[in-house]
Amino acid sequence: MSDTQPAMPRLDPDTDGWMPSVAYCPVSLGTRLIGDRWSLLIVREMLVGASRFNAIHRAMPGLSRTLLSSRLRYLERIGVVDHVVDGRHRARSEYKLTDAGLALRPVLEALGTWTSQWQLPPTGDDELNAASLLWHMHRGLDRTTLPKKELTIGFRFPNSEPSTGWIYVGEFDSGACVGFPEREIDLTVIVEPTILGELWWGKRTCAAAIAAGDVGFEGPTDLASAYPGWFRRPTPRP
């Protein structure tokens, strides 16, 4: 057998079933190389245009500058990122994705599609749960009901960590995540993630939550009044 051919499946003695070889499985190798918490997120930010250290860091406020520096050096070492240094102005140095890094785009797109299609139950990780919820909500925004073409909704979670999040919708793009947005906030919603999840999945009405004091707002009163009508209820997965 050629050295370039993948290893053949082996018979697992405990299950009498065929299993892929763990030692030579490309999936196993790939997850060991780039399957940590931050590497793919760094690549994601670079794919959408972030090339300077500060720009990448602003997009991921939960990642310390020390750890970001370490992960960038690692990605450079395995051939995913190039560090381009300006000899005269080191502050202007940039990080560029190599061909191997650019080839991760369909991997990230497929992962995003899978996450959106299969609305999986809470993981127990508050940060992941809040980020996932905001992402689903941003996909449920009804643009026809919004007061303007560009809108940033901030979320403050007083007794939770992370303590902030945001949803942005523009004329040609949109997004959502935990952390502080780089754009000016039009309306801030003050609510705990658990309450926000109940509203999103239709377990409570926004009017009832507001009346009970579980949802508050900072910003123009007309935007606060219109906020409950900006979202389409999710269609349950069959």
Q: What percent of the chain has pLDDT over 90?
A: 42
Say what the pLDDT of residue 10 is.
Answer: 47
Helices 26-34, 39-47: crossing angle, 10 deg rounding: 80
Look at residue 124 and tell me whether its pLDDT is greater than 80: no
| pLDDT tens track for 171-195 | 877 888 888 877 899 999 999 999 9
Say what the pLDDT of residue 157 is.
Answer: 95
Average pLDDT over residues 127-132: 74
28 vs 67: which has the higher pLDDT: 67
| pLDDT tens track for 193-236 | 999 988 988 889 999 999 999 999 999 999 999 999 999 865 54
Do the Cβ atoms of 59 and 26 come closer than 8 Å?
Answer: no
132 vs 62: which has the higher pLDDT: 132
Say how far apart CA 163 and CA 81 lie, in whole Å: 31
Do the Cβ atoms of 165 and 157 come closer than 8 Å?
Answer: yes
Closest C-alpha among 135, 199, 193, 137 to residue 162: 193
Say what the pLDDT of residue 48 is.
Answer: 82
| pLDDT tens track for 137-155 | 888 899 999 999 899 999 9
Say what the pLDDT of residue 226 is.
Answer: 96
| pLDDT tens track for 71-97 | 999 999 999 999 998 766 666 789 999
Average pLDDT score over the chain: 82
Say what the pLDDT of residue 123 is.
Answer: 56
Instruction: Find where tokens 């991760």 sit.
Output: 104
Say how far apart CA 203 and CA 196 lie, in whole Å: 10
Look at residue 4 and tell me whether its pLDDT is greater than 50: no
Say how far apart CA 136 and CA 112 lie, in whole Å: 11
Say how far apart CA 193 and CA 160 lie, in whole Å: 8
Look at residue 237 and tell me whether its pLDDT is greater than 70: no
Say what the pLDDT of residue 212 is.
Answer: 96
Closest C-alpha among 197, 200, 154 to residue 179: 154
Average pLDDT over residues 7-15: 46
| pLDDT tens track for 101-111 | 999 999 998 98
Per residue, what are the HEC states of the chain? CCCCCCCCCEEECCCCEEECCCCCCHHHHHHHHHCCCCHHHHHHHHHCCCCCHHHHHHHCCCCCHHHHHHHHHHHHHCCCEEEECCCCCHHHCEEEECHHHHCCHHHHHHHHHHHHHCCCCCCCCHHHHHHHHHHHHHHCECHHHCCCCCEEEEEECCCCCCCEEEEEECCCCEEEEECCCCCCCCEEEECCHHHHHHHHCCCCCHHHHHHCCCCEEECCHHHHHHHHHHECCCCCCC
Supply φ then ψ for residue 143, to 5 degrees.
-60, -25
Contacts of 205 (CB under 8 A, 6+ apart): 199
User: pLDDT band at residue 58, thresholds of 50, 70 and 90?
Assistant: confident
Say how far apart CA 79 and CA 57 lie, in whole Å: 21
